[in-house]
Structures are given as C-alpha cells and as structure tokens.
Amino acid sequence: MFVSLNNTGGKRIIFGSNRAILEMLAKDIMVQEVVTLHPEDTVAEATMKFAEHKVSGCPVVDDEGTVVGILSEADVLAHLKTQYKSLKMKLPPEIMFGISFEEKVEEKEMVKAFDEIGGAKVRDVMRRNVAVAGENDTIQSIVRRMVKNKINRVPVTSGGKLVGIVTRGDVISGLYQNDSSTPRRSS
C-alpha cells in the first residue's frame, strides 16, 4: 500500500516502505497553531479551553513562549479530591480507659470537587517534566517517547520556544493520510 502526504514544507512524501516512515520528521506532521495555557490561568479556564478546542491537553508556556509544563484532562482528574477521610469518636470506646476513633472514608460530589480545584492555578496542577521534541526529530523517536512516558502529545520546540505539537492522532493521520486535500487538525 502506498500513501502520499503533503508536509508543511509542501513536499510530497510517498509511503510504501519503512524507510519513508523512518525518515518522517516532527515538522512533517506537527500542528503549528497550538492551543496553549499560561501558568497563571486557572484550572477552570484550562478545562474550558480543552472543551472549546476539542483537545485533551495543552502545553503550558510562559510569556516568552518557553514550554514550562503540560496539563491534560487526566492531570485535572487526578487532582480532583472526591474522597476524604474523617475521624469519628466511637462511643462507647472499645477500650476501657481510653478513647477510640473510627476512620470514615466519604465520597464527595464530582461537581463540588471540581469547584475546589477550578480556582487553582495551572502552575499548581501541571506536570513540569515535559518530553519535548525538535522540529527535526524523527517520528519514530517521538513515538518512542510517547510510549515510554505514557503521554499523548509532545510539544515541538525550536530555540527553546514552542513551534508546534505532535499528538498520537497526528502520527496516525500522518502515516495514513491518503489525500492532501484532507483537512489537518488544528490543535
């Protein structure tokens, strides 16, 4: 099977051998219009941006455009505190001359839990250890990073600044896009 793809440089790439796939670079499939977050954004603002742009995560960039973190829906959900523990004094106590306590784990409504985290700053919830790629990194090396780090997206940088992003979907689309008229995803 042969597949053709127009990359961002306007070159046509024909796939039909492992060699062409191995030679694909980040700049060949990356999305250049990246939805980003700022460290001072709130988690509520971040989740609204996820929904508005139909993305599941975004790089976090500072005022100079440097990637300082990444935030995903999974990170937000991991920070939701839907359980809490409380101690309750047992009466009568289990021991004769003492006080007994019982630990009780209770569930909190998801909406209430989100209200508590929604006002938090992105900088307090984001992951700081971000796997990034350069424009000339091979897709093979980016996929390896995705699998090794169990991540869905890799920001692409040049000179320390964000210039694009490669997601798992971009990799699949890049490998199997049959027609150059097929619209590309905008981050």
Residue 162: name the closest of 17, 52, 61 by CA: 61
Question: Which two structure tokens, joined as six digits, stand for 71?
Answer: 């935030």
Is 26 in contact with 15 (CB distance < 8 Å)? no
pLDDT at 82 over 80: no
pTM higher than the cut 0.85: no
For the chain, helix (H) and strand (E) counts, in that order, are 8, 9
Domain layout of the chain by residue ranges = 3-74+121-176, 83-116
The number of residues in the chain equals: 187
Structure tokens, 65: 């455009």
Instruction: Please say if the pLDDT value at position 158 is more than 50.
Output: yes
Topology of the domain covering 3-74+121-176: CBS-domain (3.10.580)
The CA radius of gyration of the chain, in Å to the nearest whole number, is: 23
pLDDT given for residue 100 in this prediction: 61
**For 10-65, what is each residue's pLDDT tens digit?**
444 444 544 565 578 999 889 999 999 999 999 999 999 999 999 999 999 999 99
pLDDT digits (tens, 9 = 90+) for 115-133: 778 889 999 999 999 999 9
| Per-residue model confidence (pLDDT) at position 12 | 44
